Amino acid sequence: MYSREEIRQLLEDSNTYLDHSPDIGRLRELLRFHEYRYYVKNDPLLSDEAYDKLYKKLEEMERAHPEWITPDSPTQRIGKDLNDDFKTVKHLAPMLSLENSYNPQDVIEWRQRLSSFVKSPHIHFSVEPKYDGAGISLIYENDILVRGTTRGDGAEGDDITTNIRQIRSIPLSTTFSKFGIRRIEIRGEILLTKENFRIFNDSLVKEGLAPLANPRNAAAGSLRMKDPAEVGRRRLEAVLYHVSFVEYSGKENPKLNTHSGTIEVLNTLGFKTPWGDMKTYNTIDDVVNYCLDFEKKRDELPYEIDGMVVKVDEKEFQQMAGSTSHHPRWSMAFKFKARQATTKLIDVEFQVGRTGAVTPVAKLEPVPIGGVTVSSVSLFNEGIIREKDLRIGDTVIVERAGDVIPYIVKPLTELRDGSERHIHFPTHCPVCHDKLYKPEGEAVWRCMNINCPAQVVERIIHFASKDAMDIKSLGESNVRRFYEEKIISDIPSLYAIDFDRVAGLEGFGKKSIDNLRTAIENSKKQELNRLIFGLGIRYVGEASAKELASSVNNLSELGNLSMEQLQALKDIGPRVSESIYSFFHDAHNLKMLNELAQKGLNMKGIKRIGHPGRLAGKTFLFTGTLEGMKRNEAEKLAEEQGGRLLSSVSAHLDYLVVGESPGSKLEKARKINSIQVINEKEFLDLISHSK
């Protein structure tokens, strides 16, 4: 539809339009192009923010010159994304978009504009998260869910009722009749939590497929699947945040006269809603502050949000404000910083990890995304390079979604000019030049030479890292440097460093050498579980390392355990036990362990004897600053007594131990009845009194 040259020109004009003298015809062309990319191709080339600026410019020009408005102007219609395979149905009320703002000033100006429609000084504003998922609308008739629809073009959407019925958080029936309601249309968002998204993406990567860009795409794709059972397996969630149509059979309910009351009603009827995160204020300053505060908590939420939505709370005032053909004037989205950017793929490097896995890493022209500069991202494996058809020299879209590591969404193939180069996966290890192998059923190529310098260095880095032996002054770059200078050659050699040679290196003064020497010396006393984890045995994470350390009196005993005995330990399955067994039956490894023992490293296990610990079977989480001990000391205490630590608040948590200035965990825990919230003293009492 558009040639490469046209696309290049359209993109260039989109970026520079606002600096030039206005040409309304060209502006419409630019917007139409981006609408086509967004709604028809599902493949936007411009950030929402840049698009909105252009859209607003057109609105502004048309406001100044209504005689210039044409029926086909982008302001006069909303885009289409209908799918032929689903039946198209009409919404009871049009599904409008929201007006976007990107800074507090925009919100303040919106408030001022509102004054010309709503004269009352008593307006309240509700503020709630802007969920980054796929929009839907639901209709309930006589308390039964009768239809679920995609947003479509805003007037009509696709009937996806069978898929919607698979989403467990959507009740198939509920008692609207108690509120006098016969028929209701509600709007909301289908989401995938970050956790479920990660699980889903991991499974794609394991199969050698490309991971999806973000939870939103995963949710939207899932809604259009042909197999409803598969939709059920993806663990989608729905949050409902707006009532667009109501027909009463009984008396109208006054609760529904406000947005906050409406959300409360939906909440009591069993829907997931913004209820817990929604606040209502009567000044715009409070609204802005809440938005800014919430942005800081963005990464703590279980799902992605891309901003906040401010809504006039009183329905009466909403009606006074009315809507444009595009959005209601009574609402405004406060968008957070963008987390996608376009940049150039400069090169691909192949890195050899600790286990010999060869990972392609894309080197990018550095680009800021949501406050972080991204210059290199993992491409995971060969299959993904092929699937995305990435080439060196490509312009690519990079996304950093929440706490998900940044990665390339896709190349912009239209921008290729023929100078791009294919990426060739190496056949031999880029470091030791041994031939690479891809074990059957795996997606990853491996260097099988355990003496490969790349693997050796990565193993030493892992051994010294924070969660393993925690040798503070020995960072990754020092390990690399010492290895290159032949000051160290393997893990045991860390304990025989010639510090005179280190003193000869640039940047090492007496103080830093003393620190390094002490840190290395102190590491000899580290607990056995840290040593086991530091050995980098494949599939042995921190939890399994703890389990192993607490089942022996001495590290050497691990070598005596049979596969069956290993499998009898908690959370150690056949794959892990096989890996442990072969590690302790390898002559090279045994020699290393022997050397470490001779250097004086702690090899003593903490075999559990007698009682299983006073906190056995209970789960703990700590928040805030404790008075009498450090957080990690308290955690250790809990674990020593058989307690298990959790990383977040959920129904699996038994005790939340709260110190000074607790975080959001406390608020969350209060909403779950089964969690006991206790202070430091109560925690210590628990240890001394419980049976």
With CB atoms as reference, the residue minimizing the distance to ligand IVH is 135
- Using the contact rule CB under 6 A, the part of the chain among 18-26, 328-336, 357-365, 539-547 near ligand IVH is 328-336
Where does this chain touch ligand IVH (CB under 6 A) — which range of 77-85, 210-218, 326-334, 357-365? Answer: 326-334
Structure-token pair, residue 117: 């429609």
Q: Which is nearer to ligand IVH, 55 or 655 (CB)?
A: 55
- Compute the chain's Rg from CA coordinates: 30
From 119-127, 325-333, 380-388, 529-537, give the range in contact with ligand IVH by CB under 6 A: 325-333
Min dist. Cβ of residue 150 to ligand IVH (A)? 10
CB of 300 to ligand IVH, least distance (A): 18
* Residue 189 lies near ligand IVH (rule: CB under 6 A): yes
Closer Cβ to ligand IVH, 333 or 488, answer by number = 333
Q: Considering only CA atoms, which of 111, 129, 115 is closest in space to residue 285? A: 111
Please, what is the minimum distance in Å from the beta carbon of residue 130 to ligand IVH? 4
Site string for ligand IVH, 331-370 (x = CB under 6 A): x-x-------------------------------------
Q: Which of 188, 147, 194 is nearest to 272 (CA)?
A: 188
Alpha-carbon distance of 274 to 189, in angstroms, equals 11
Work out how close the CB of 86 gets to ligand IVH at its nearest, in angstroms, rounded to a whole number.
18
Q: How many residues bind ligand IVH (CB under 6 A)?
A: 16
Contact flag: residue 605 with ligand IVH (CB under 6 A):
no
The whole-angstrom separation of Cα 443 and Cα 313 is 53
C-alpha–C-alpha distance, residues 295 and 289, integer Å: 10
List 74, 261, 274, 356, residue binding ligand IVH (CB under 6 A): 274
Question: Looking at beta carbons only, is 97 or 579 nearer to ligand IVH?
Answer: 97
**Helix, strand, or coil (residue 312):** strand
Q: Is 47 left (phi over 0), alpha (psi -120 to 50) or beta?
A: beta
- Residues labelled as active-site residues: 130
Torsion of CA 194, 198, 201, 206, to 10 degrees: 180
How is 413-465 classified by DSSP, letter by letter?
GGG--S--EEPPPPSB-TTT-PBEE--TT-S--EE--TT-HHHHHHHHHHHHS
**By the rule CB under 6 A, 278 interacts with ligand IVH:** no
Smallest distance from ligand IVH to CB 301, Å: 13
- Comparison of 219 and 364: residue with beta carbon closer to ligand IVH: 219
User: Using CB under 6 A as the criterion, what x/- string covers residues 91-130 for binding ligand IVH?
Assistant: -----xxx-----------------------------x-x
Count CB atoms within 10 A of the CB of residue 371.
Answer: 8
Nearer to ligand IVH among residue 263 and residue 404 (C-beta): 263
CB of 81 to ligand IVH, least distance (A): 12
Q: What is the DSSP letter of 278?
A: -
Q: 275 or 508: whose CB is closer to ligand IVH? A: 275
Pairwise CA distance, residues 172 & 161, whole Å: 11
Whose Cβ is closer to ligand IVH: residue 274's or residue 605's? 274
Neighbour-count burial of 454, counting CB atoms closer than 10 A to its CB (0-12 exposed, 13-18 middle, 19+ buried): buried
Report which of 123, 102, 97, 103 is spatially closest to residue 111, judged by C-alpha positions.
Answer: 123
Q: What residues between 227 and 246 interact with ligand IVH by CB under 6 A? A: 241-242
Q: Where are the beta strands (DSSP E) in 610-687?
A: 619-623, 644-645, 655-658, 676-679
Taking the complex as a whole, how short is the minimal distance between the CB of residue 305 and ligand IVH, in angstroms? Answer: 8
Nearest to 376 by CA among 347, 342, 333: 347
Contacting ligand IVH within 192-221 (CB under 6 A): none
How many helices (H) does the chain have, and how many strands (E)? 24, 24
Q: Which of 152, 157, 211, 328 binds ligand IVH (CB under 6 A)?
A: 328
Nearer to ligand IVH, 323 or 556 (CB): 323
Q: Nearest approach, Cβ of 120 to ligand IVH (angstroms)?
A: 21
Q: Which residues bind ligand IVH (CB under 6 A)?
A: 96-98, 128, 130-131, 135, 187, 189, 241-242, 274, 309, 328, 331, 333
